[in-house]
Structure 1
Amino acid sequence: MTDGFDFSPGAQVPLSGSAGETAATQALASAAYRDDPVAKLLEANSEWTVSEVKAPKISLFEPNLGEAFSRAVQLRMLGGGRNQVIQSFGTEPQTIVEHCLAANRIRKVRDSRLTVVMVIFGLLFLPGALLWLGAFQLRRSVAGAQDKRMGALGTALMLALGIFVLIFLIRLPFSGFWGIYLRGVVVAPVIGWFIAKQICERTAKELRDYWGGLVSGTGVGAKVPETVPNHPGQTSAEVLRKSLHKLTAEQYSNVVFYAGAKGILGMGTRWGSWQLAEDLVSADPDKEIDPFRSWDVIRAIHDQLRLLERTPLHTGGFTTPPQVRHWVVSAVTEGAKSVERKGASEEEGFLIKGVELQRICDQQQFDSGDRHYLGVQFVLWDGQLVITLMITVTLLHKTMRIEVTGHALGPVHPLFFGKPSAPTKTVPKTFRFWETKSIPLPLVKPQEVVRLAARAPFTWYPPILDHLGGKLVLPEPFGLRHAWADKPWRHRFMADDALRTAAPVLRVVHEAAIGVLKHHGVDTERFGSRSLALSGQVQDAAPKKADLYDA
């Protein structure tokens, strides 16, 4: 699995010629830099998976979308003892995880500076810091209610607190050291807030630059210096590098999982199924059929599918060459929370190949066990559309059955393609009051500065923040691509591509299979007639829910 991939440690992801530079990859990676509310991510839940947000105990410590997404993905994809992940077809998951690492590094630098500010202006003047934090928490709790009047009440409480503080400074009952300290208790947190605001503004601009660059498709690379050891004794960089290597190896595993009505995890639901099943009758009554195996038919189909991009005319054709691979499909329950690739070890790159692959193809066609499929996959629209057609051949008694099924995974949810917009406020012009103008606002709101400053000292031990502020709970079994995929049938051209692909693939499969049958002395008249009938059925213009049996 190391051929064609560079797993050496580096601080910068390549910006040109990389397979990961697709629309789907960059859209998902941009989530690591976003500053939207974390609950907004729930809008992107798909029919395959549903993510959840654990409610915070103290809303002041609640993470935003980028913080929650990058931490959850990093832990799930690189954490020790993690469960196996589902392949993310049409994307490069390593690139997405590296962007999560890069976003966390940027925030870590910001939080280090904010921690210093909190120590100087917060810890040394703790009573005042607690008073201000409590006021902001009260306002956040009240303003977060559905009733807008409650939000106005929270603002009124903050205003009342400011007037009380002003009176307290003017008519202070103490003098000397305690008088100076008490004034500092009230003023120092405000000074610290102004300094923290500058730090947060610079970081917000940097994060939004990455966010905008990824969504715009400019190929912004993720800086991950954590994979480069600073000294010979540093093992964390090597561990991280091996974790990324393992993630990419899992991505190219040929073991997939069928989860009932959810279809093949990572490939989408099954929208079409065409089956050719006829008896094997000798073409010459005086001779028996030459023995052959399912693998012989599959191998012939495999060779013909690799020629799909060729066309007798100098127009049209498949502009994107298909990926033809042998797959081993394991059945799991629709509500399974974890998967396990039995027989596919990490040492073998999570692949099943060679004699074992042929054995599954020839023998495991009935009863329990894994099944062999030959898949032809088209990754289109810069990774936004993944069309997979799976072919299986079974021989039971005198009947040979050739089944072609179509799976389609749609585009990434539109939420991930939203670009950052600078906050503005519309106000009337000074002289031409009947006209309005937009004035820019700071990127970071005052309450957001308080939230970031309050979280900063606890970022050194993230489990505390997870407990106090809640976290994003990723759906299981987890895969970056299908977790937030939309249906392709809502996009006219994507739906057309999926429907058009089935016909040529089906005919190539039948042609190759019938050729093998003729070579081994089988009468192919019935197979040919049945193939013509299926060629008519495949031209149906509407996809079906083939995994939902009406029984």
Structure 2
Amino acid sequence: MGAEVAFDGFDFTPGAQVPLTGSAGQTAATFALASAAYRDSPMEEILKADNEWHQSTVKAGRIKLFAPNLGEAFAGAVAARMLGAGRAPLIQSFGTEPQVVVEHCLAATNIRRERDNWLSAVMVLCGLLFLPGLLVWLMVFQIRTQIAKRADKRGSALGTTLLFAVGALAVLFLVRMPFTGFWAWYARAAVVLPVVGWLWAKQICERTAKDLRERWDGLLSGGGIGAKIPEAVPGSPGETAAEQLRQSLARLSAEQQSNSVFYAGPKGVLGMGTRWGSWQLAEDLVAQDPKKEIHPFRSWDVIRSIHDQLRMLERGPLNTGGFPAPSIKHWIVTPIGEKATAVSRPGGTDVDAYTVKTHAVQDICNKQQFGSGDRHYLGVQWTLWDGQLIITMMITVTVLHQTLRIEVTGHALGPVNPLFTTKPEAPTKEVAKTVKFWETRKVSLPLVTADEVVRLAARAPLTWYPPLLNWIGGSLGLPEPFGLRHAWADQPWRHRFMADDALRAATPVLRVVHSAAIKVLEENGVDTEKFGNRSAFLSTAVQDPSPRKADVYDA
């Protein structure tokens, strides 16, 4: 499907600026994803977080020396994808606050940009003015990087030997200078000043690395420093860039509240997870009194009764805790292909700020039950485990000829991949003890290695034009259709208690749905005996539900 510009007609009046998402119970998954913006591990590690249905891609650059790390690639890719002008529609990130993640990506980029400004000044003073020496040293480090790519220890030792050999030649060159006069002094400066600049750059990089790691650790510890993005607050009417950023963030929050979702075949409902269970009640509509006709009713009447009863799920006869308050919402589900790389949200006069209006929802519920087109589902959703588990039960009611069918399906989205929940570890190295040489001890290493300083200094002048930097060094490709939460979510079935929570939610929801539906049927003169028998059978079957791939049909 072709992607539309999702924000056409969006209202940016002051009312649209009010934050629409709550923060209660959603911090763990949000902060875990946000922490990726501050990480300094290799970019390729993001591939370990991919799940069965959504895969990221790492686009290799032309020069390895300019390759980004995970934090740089993640922050840039996420911010560009979620805030870019004319961006494609996004998938909702249930259980997280995508605006918070994007704000941390912007904040991390600002921290790195401040560092790069200093490094650029160092490159000009100690590198550009002495370009021949800088090019020689960069060539040496590039060769060393290529040699170090070898998996064995011999490659690393060879790279270190190369660096020492070039250093010895540099000292010899300073002692036995072949030039005299001005060029002799310039040649000496061209050899020495790039090394001085490297030492200066190392201090700058160490300071920034410490700041980024503190924020990374703070987010995962629950007490992280808030993201500061002053460029999102316009100081005057003429600040168009700030106003555009503010509108993009408001647009992101509004799209998060959209009642339009997409069903991608075996992938399930994007953002809600795969369908793990399905229970269907289908019987003929027969009048209680053969002499009277059934009082006319529509699917929406049944759905509205179910909606009212589901609001009572948090109440029970015993004071045992029970269900927390769920989110109950009418969803418009659009079918897309399993391999679709883009989605297109409904548009027109029936849509207001990404939300399908109530009268259009009723029409879809009553009329679009067979053939092409969007479908209506009533969803009851719980956000549990601090945002790490999303349980969604979807209910749809259809009437074809004389048969009324009530279908309840279970969807579950598990925790974010453990890659995002790992805290930073100080780099260490095991060395032999001086006296007891048969024993080893750990020694602390600098946060930033020599190669990392060279990489950051080389990238710094190009960070002001990301497209060129991405072409030279490489970039991260996000899985499409993109949504922060479902892109890197694991299945909940490997976690015992999460699996229990998902399975336990099915029985009470199913019984409430059937009870509310049968009540409407009785009120409208329908013989509910067969419906009651079928409901009792399903109520017995759901006593011991087991997760399965309900969207994979073995035909």
TM-score by length of 2: 0.95
Distance 2:177 2:422 in 1: 51
Distance 2:232 2:90 in 1: 22
Summarize the alignment of residues 47-58 of structure 1 with structure 2, pairs less than 5 Å apart: 47-58=52-63
Report the Cα offset of residue 367 of structure 1: 0.6
Distance 1:344 1:441 in 2: 59
Q: Give the structure 2 partner of residue 363 of structure 1.
A: 367
Aligned counterpart for 1:173 among listed residues 178, 181, 200: 178
Gap change, CA 1:345 and 1:170, over 3 Å in 2: farther
Alpha-carbon contact 1:46-1:483 (below 8 Å) kept: yes
Gap change, CA 1:419 and 1:4, over 3 Å in 2: farther
Secondary structure at the residue paired with 2:504?
Answer: helix
Aligned counterpart for 2:89 among listed residues 70, 84, 88: 84
Aligned counterpart for 1:125 among listed residues 130, 147, 153: 130
Q: Give the structure 1 partner of residue 17 of structure 2.
A: 7
Q: Give the structure 2 partner of residue 351 of structure 1.
A: 355
Q: Give the structure 1 partner of residue 524 of structure 2.
A: 520
Gap change, CA 1:378 and 1:18, over 3 Å in 2: closer
Q: Give the structure 2 partner of residue 485 of structure 1.
A: 489
Q: Give the structure 2 partner of residue 316 of structure 1.
A: 321
1:340-367 deviation line (CA, Å, top 9, x unaligned): 1113779712011221110000000011
Q: Give the structure 2 partner of residue 426 of structure 1.
A: 430
The reply to whether residue 229 of structure 1 matches residue 239 of structure 2 is no
Alpha-carbon contact 1:266-1:479 (below 8 Å) kept: yes
Name the stretch that deviates more: 152-161 or 501-510: 152-161
Q: Give the structure 2 partner of residue 457 of structure 1.
A: 461
Q: Give the structure 1 partner of residue 247 of structure 2.
A: 242
Alpha-carbon contact 1:280-1:399 (below 8 Å) kept: yes
Aligned counterpart for 1:182 among listed residues 187, 191, 194: 187
Gap change, CA 1:218 and 1:469, over 3 Å in 2: same
Aligned counterpart for 1:162 among listed residues 155, 161, 167: 167
Gap change, CA 1:351 and 1:153, over 3 Å in 2: same
Q: Give the structure 1 partner of residue 3 of structure 2.
A: none
Gap change, CA 1:298 and 1:346, over 3 Å in 2: closer
1:327-385 deviation line (CA, Å, top 9, x unaligned): 00000000101001113779712011221110000000011110000000011001100
The reply to whether residue 277 of structure 1 matches residue 287 of structure 2 is no
Distance 1:21 1:182 in 2: 59
The reply to whether residue 30 of structure 1 matches residue 35 of structure 2 is yes
Residue type of the partner of 2:546? A
Q: Give the structure 2 partner of residue 329 of structure 1.
A: 333
Gap change, CA 1:478 and 1:292, over 3 Å in 2: same
Where structure 1 has 5 or more consecutive residues not aligned to the other structure, the ranges are none
Aligned length: 544
1:15-63 deviation line (CA, Å, top 9, x unaligned): xx83485110000000000000000000000122100000121000000
Distance 1:212 1:471 in 2: 25
Report the Cα offset of residue 179 of structure 1: 1.1
Secondary structure at the residue paired with 1:124?
Answer: helix
Q: Could you tell me the percent identity over the aligned residues? A: 65
Q: Give the structure 1 partner of residue 7 of structure 2.
A: none
Gap change, CA 1:168 and 1:96, over 3 Å in 2: same
Distance 2:262 2:105 in 1: 27
Distance 2:415 2:394 in 1: 20
Q: CA RMSD in A?
A: 1.9
1:279-300 deviation line (CA, Å, top 9, x unaligned): 0111111111110000000000
Distance 1:344 1:444 in 2: 53
Residue type of the partner of 1:159? F
Alpha-carbon contact 1:20-1:92 (below 8 Å) kept: no
Gap change, CA 1:225 and 1:20, over 3 Å in 2: farther
Distance 1:530 1:150 in 2: 70
Aligned counterpart for 1:474 among listed residues 474, 478, 495: 478
Name the stretch that deviates more: 122-131 or 211-220: 211-220
Alpha-carbon contact 2:41-2:70 (below 8 Å) kept: yes
Distance 1:219 1:36 in 2: 20
Distance 1:7 1:398 in 2: 48
1:255-279 deviation line (CA, Å, top 9, x unaligned): 0000011111111100000000000
Distance 2:424 2:348 in 1: 42
Alpha-carbon contact 2:60-2:475 (below 8 Å) kept: yes
Alpha-carbon contact 1:271-1:546 (below 8 Å) kept: yes
Gap change, CA 1:399 and 1:6, over 3 Å in 2: closer
Q: Which runs of 4+ in 1 moved over 6 A?
A: 1-6, 344-347
Alpha-carbon contact 2:147-2:156 (below 8 Å) kept: yes
Alpha-carbon contact 1:19-1:92 (below 8 Å) kept: no
Gap change, CA 1:25 and 1:389, over 3 Å in 2: same
Name the stretch that deviates more: 541-550 or 385-394: 541-550
Report the Cα offset of residue 153 of structure 1: 2.0
Alpha-carbon contact 1:357-1:372 (below 8 Å) kept: yes
Name the stretch that deviates more: 264-273 or 533-542: 533-542
Where structure 2 has 5 or more consecutive residues not aligned to the other structure, the ranges are 1-10
Report the Cα offset of residue 430 of structure 1: 4.2
Distance 1:408 1:41 in 2: 23
Q: Give the structure 2 partner of residue 41 of structure 1.
A: 46
The reply to whether residue 268 of structure 1 matches residue 278 of structure 2 is no
The reply to whether residue 388 of structure 1 matches residue 392 of structure 2 is yes
Distance 2:359 2:178 in 1: 89
Report the Cα offset of residue 432 of structure 1: 5.2
The reply to whether residue 191 of structure 1 matches residue 201 of structure 2 is no
Alpha-carbon contact 1:139-1:158 (below 8 Å) kept: yes
Distance 2:345 2:238 in 1: 34
Report the Cα offset of residue 233 of structure 1: 1.4
Q: Give the structure 2 partner of residue 290 of structure 1.
A: 295
Secondary structure at the residue paired with 2:553?
Answer: coil
Aligned counterpart for 2:376 among listed residues 369, 372, 375: 372
Residue type of the partner of 1:99? H
Residue type of the partner of 1:327? W
Alpha-carbon contact 1:246-1:346 (below 8 Å) kept: no
Gap change, CA 1:111 and 1:346, over 3 Å in 2: farther
